Amino acid sequence: MSDEHGRKTVIDLVAGLGMRVYPVGRLDMNSEGLLLMTNDGQFANTVAHPSYNKTKTYEVQVRGDAQKASVLMRQPMKIDSLEVRAVSVKLSKQAEDGGVLLISISEGRNRQLRRMCRQCGLEVVALKRVSIGSLKLGSLKVGRWRYLTKKELKSLRDFNMEN
């Protein structure tokens, strides 16, 4: 919502919208991908708060033993004395020096994926959120936004009620 160095923020992207909206959850400065914006506080809370266990999936390009890490991340690990684990981890592309992992989590703790990767001996090269529940990022370009369709809104509402 703000930046101590005066850099553009996600709010700058929707400045001409005509209403105050705020992000649902967060992406750090070195991450990209799907970020919902809303003016409905309850909706934001039920999608973003860790206690609701909403699944978010990320495409994570890493350096290191991605195959080994994909197994380790499914096991409980400690971050700030809290036990976390990935809901699912798939090695979608393997390279000589790393690979691309599709990692789903439900907690969304501060820099959780980067910290989990570090504990597994991986260096994160790029991190992109590709879905929240059944909602997919698709081909939307970095820095662009769009309204959700009625079908997508229904899916998120159903997602909120079922999970």
Query: Which residues are identified as catalytic?
Result: 28
Which helix (H) or strand (E) segment holds residue 153: the answer is helix 150-162
> What gap in Å lies between CA 39 and CA 94, rounded to an integer?
40
> By the 8 A CB rule, do 98 and 125 touch?
yes
Measured distance CA(61)–CA(63) in Å, rounded: 7
Instruction: Compute how many other C-beta atoms are within 10 angstroms of the C-beta atom of residue 127.
Output: 22
Whether the Cβ atoms of residue 102 and residue 73 lie closer than 8 Å to each other: no
Short-list 99, 78, 104, CA closest to 89: 104
- Alpha-carbon separation of residue 120 from 63, 70, 103 (angstroms): 11, 9, 13
